[in-house]
Amino acid sequence: MTILVTGGAGFIGGNFVLDWLARHDEKLVNLDALTYAGNLETLQTVARHPQHVFVRGDIGDRDGVAALLRQHRPRAVVNFAAESHVDRSIHGPADFIQTNIVGTFNLLECVREYWSGLDGEERAAFRFLHVSTDEVYGTLQAGDAPFAETHRYEPNSPYSASKAASDHLVRAWHHTYGLPVLTTNCSNNYGPYHFPEKLIPLVILNALAGKPLPIYGDGRQVRDWLYVKDHCGAIRRVLEAGVPGETYNVGGWNEKTNLEVVHAICAILDRTRPRADGLGYREQIQFVADRPGHDRRYAIDAGKLERELGWRPEETFDSGIAKTVEWYLANPEWIEHVSSGSYRDWLNKQYG
């Protein structure tokens, strides 16, 4: 038995690979293009794991993906591969269109051809799980109900628009061709191995370096925060028991403003790594101009996933953020290599 994971050297995909190999004896084939956010150092502990096969490649490479499917004959494909940073999508949307839309299309076509050639029980048991985001639903006002799976799509950034398009493709391949797909739409993830362009790792690293802690606008944008290990557990559960064609929202039931998140990190660092001058880390907070089209509030209703599949997150925001800060304090080498870009030197030497 084998599963194929795409984007398995990124933040969420890498955590999923580590958790899967710790829990299963099943072979996992890991396909990742190793763009700027793909980091094999995240997977260092499983580099020689007998059930982990890493392949550098792009989901848009039909010949390469088709060859992997023929060779390894997976029972499932879990698609994490995506460009995922809103700020980068604003400044350079082309990569997001290419990977998230065209890449997903090419992957679906390869998987459809492979699945069509399966027989009997193998064909019936096969699943394609597409990992998406709550940002496809747009923004909420303060009193609005959280996003349910039936909420209409209203993406507001090039990133969320490209992910919305990929979700529509996945849905269409199920309804038109019968491909047994599952879609998960998750809220903001945080935890170990997070690339330091995102809010939580950026604040941790800037605080320790004595740099400003930048907060967009008034800092009162609300997000639902989901610890990445909980997200991995939800994906495993959906893969195991989800109904083909269905969408499942995955959230942490933790709505926090960006300012509350930064204050929480500062409080933990004040206790565990106090500043030499005796001042608190909040002194480093700096409000900066808001980004264009910044959505005000995201909130996920994960009730369907609990009712139908029995999943709830294990971590509260307080427990998850404490574990996250602790991990960054304990892993300065990973952080230094990512921050300096030196982790790419080995990739260039290994892969050219």
Reading the chain (352 residues) residue by residue, the pLDDT tens digits are: 999 999 999 999 999 999 999 999 999 999 999 987 788 999 999 999 999 999 999 999 999 999 999 999 999 999 999 987 787 888 889 999 999 999 999 999 999 999 999 999 999 999 999 999 999 999 999 999 999 999 999 999 999 999 999 999 999 999 999 999 999 999 999 999 998 878 999 999 999 999 999 999 999 999 999 999 999 999 999 999 999 999 999 999 999 999 999 999 999 999 999 999 999 999 999 999 887 878 899 999 999 999 999 999 999 999 999 999 999 999 999 888 887 765 556 446 544 4
Q: Is 134 tagged catalytic?
A: yes
346 CB-near residues (< 8 Å, 6+ apart): 40
Q: Which among 242, 244, 252 has a CA at the least distance from the CA of 317? A: 252
> Residue 107: how many CB atoms within 10 A of its CB?
27
Look at residue 187 in the predicted model and tell me its pLDDT. 96
Residue pair 208/144 in contact (Cβ under 8 Å)? The answer is: no
Q: What is the H or E stretch that residue 167 is in?
A: helix 158-177
- Highest CATH level, class, for 2-193+228-253+298-315+341-351: alpha beta
* pTM (2 d.p.): 0.94
Q: Residue by residue, what is the 3-state secondary structure of 197-208? A: CCHHHHHHHHHH
- 103-119 pLDDT, tens digit each: 999 999 999 999 999 99
Look at residue 119 in the predicted model and tell me its pLDDT. 95
Catalytic residue chosen out of the listed positions 32, 58, 83, 135:
135
98 CB-near residues (< 8 Å, 6+ apart): 60
Give the DSSP letter of residue 186.
E
> Residue 35: how many CB atoms within 10 A of its CB?
14
Q: How would you classify the pairing of strands 52-56 and 213-216?
A: unpaired
**Tokens linked to 82:** 């995506």
**What is the distance between the alpha carbons of residues 196 and 257, in angstroms, rounded to a whole number?**
19
Catalytic residue chosen out of the listed positions 134, 230, 295, 315:
134
Please state whether 334 falls in left (phi above 0), alpha (psi between -120 and 50) or beta: alpha
Domain boundaries, the chain: 2-193+228-253+298-315+341-351
Q: Is 135 tagged catalytic?
A: yes
Catalytic residue chosen out of the listed positions 137, 159, 193, 227:
159
Residue pair 230/196 in contact (Cβ under 8 Å)? The answer is: no
